[in-house]
Amino acid sequence: MINKQSTHTPIEVGDGAAIPHKDDSGLFTAWRIAFFGAIILCLFLAFGRSEQYLAIFKFVPDGILVTFKVTIGAILLSIVFGLIAGLGRISSNRLINGTASLYVEVIRGIPLLVQLFYIYYALGRFIRIPDILSAIIAMAFCYGAYMAEIFRAGIQSIPKGQIEAALSLGMSRRQAMQQVILPQAFKVVLPPIGNEFIALLKDSSLVSILAVADLLRRGREYASETFNYFETYTVIALIYLIMTLFFSKLISLMEEKLNDGH
């Protein structure tokens, strides 16, 4: 039998403290105050005295949909890119290893905003693809490099003994990777992928610069014609906050479920 205890080896990839913290079980946790506070504030603004805010809430919903589309499309595609590059990073083939490492180094060395411009307009020169798809590809290409490092760390966190045991049982390297290592590694990388998802949701606002009509773009369009800058960006910030808090809760619940599964 494979020793499952070893899958708990923790790896830390993330950009901040997890909200909510697992041990935080009081009634007024930071998460609850932020989440419900934001929702109550939204409702108050929308149905309060001023009509201005309601007009903004009516203007932006299709932008929220585009933000979701970009985020989910980019996270799925970046997992594909990341898995391929991550496997490449631990490959013993020098060419594959070199290519994957080059990809990771180059992408991580260029600011996301610059990459978005570059990929979006570079893609446009050679092939005709719709704007949202171009934005998704650009985001996924960037995030794939970070995903690659997560997958590499995750795979390397599985003790060497496992692959040796699998090989000695007569499995091929590919079989050992597919049936023994990757299923275990996947559990290890899920939490950091969750973090990446939240980070990507926030970074997806950058695609507004590419004229993709996401939440931020819709807000900017509204503000630029009504000049209600303060009101508009208050609403936009609150909507982003509610979305990220909601998903971070969902991801932490998912993690707990996974840990209970053992």
Partner 1 sequence: MRIFRTLSVAALLIASLTTAAFAATKSIKVATDATWPPMEMVDANKKIVGYDIDFLNAVAKEAGVAVEFKNTAWDGIFAGLDSGQYDAIISSVTITDERKAKYDFTDAYTSIGQILIVPKTDKTSKTIADLKGKKVGSQIGTTGTMEVKKVAGVESKTYDEVGLAFEDMASGRIDGVVCDEPVAAHFALQKKEYKDKFKIVGKAFTKEGYGIVVKKGNKELVNLLNKGIKAVKAKKIDTKIHTKWVK
Q: Helix 51-59 to helix 229-260 angle, to the nearest 10 degrees? A: 60
Q: Which stretch binds partner 1 (CB under 8 A): 51-59, 88-96, 117-125, 184-192?
A: 117-125
| Tokens of residue 213, six digits | 């009509």
Compute the least distance from the CB of residue 177 to partner 1, in Å: 40
Please pick, from the candidates 113, 121, 169, 254, the single residue that binds partner 1 as defined by CB under 8 A.
121
125 counts as binding partner 1 under rule CB under 8 A:
yes
Number of DSSP helices (H) and strands (E) in the chain, helices first: 11, 0
Please pick, from the candidates 6, 190, 221, 234, the single residue that binds partner 1 as defined by CB under 8 A.
221
Beta carbon nearer to partner 1, 66 or 198: 66
Q: Give 33-41 contacts, CB < 8 A, sequence gap 24+.
A: 34/241, 34/245, 35/242, 35/245, 35/246, 35/249, 38/238, 38/241, 38/242, 38/245, 39/242, 41/238
Compute the least distance from the CB of residue 209 to partner 1, in Å: 6
Q: Which stretch binds partner 1 (CB under 8 A): 10-18, 122-130, 142-150, 175-183?
A: 122-130
Residues 6+ apart with CB under 8 A from 136: 69, 70, 73, 74, 77
131 counts as binding partner 1 under rule CB under 8 A:
yes
Residues that bind partner 1 (CB under 8 A): 121, 124-125, 128, 130-131, 134, 209, 211, 213, 217, 220-221, 223-227, 229
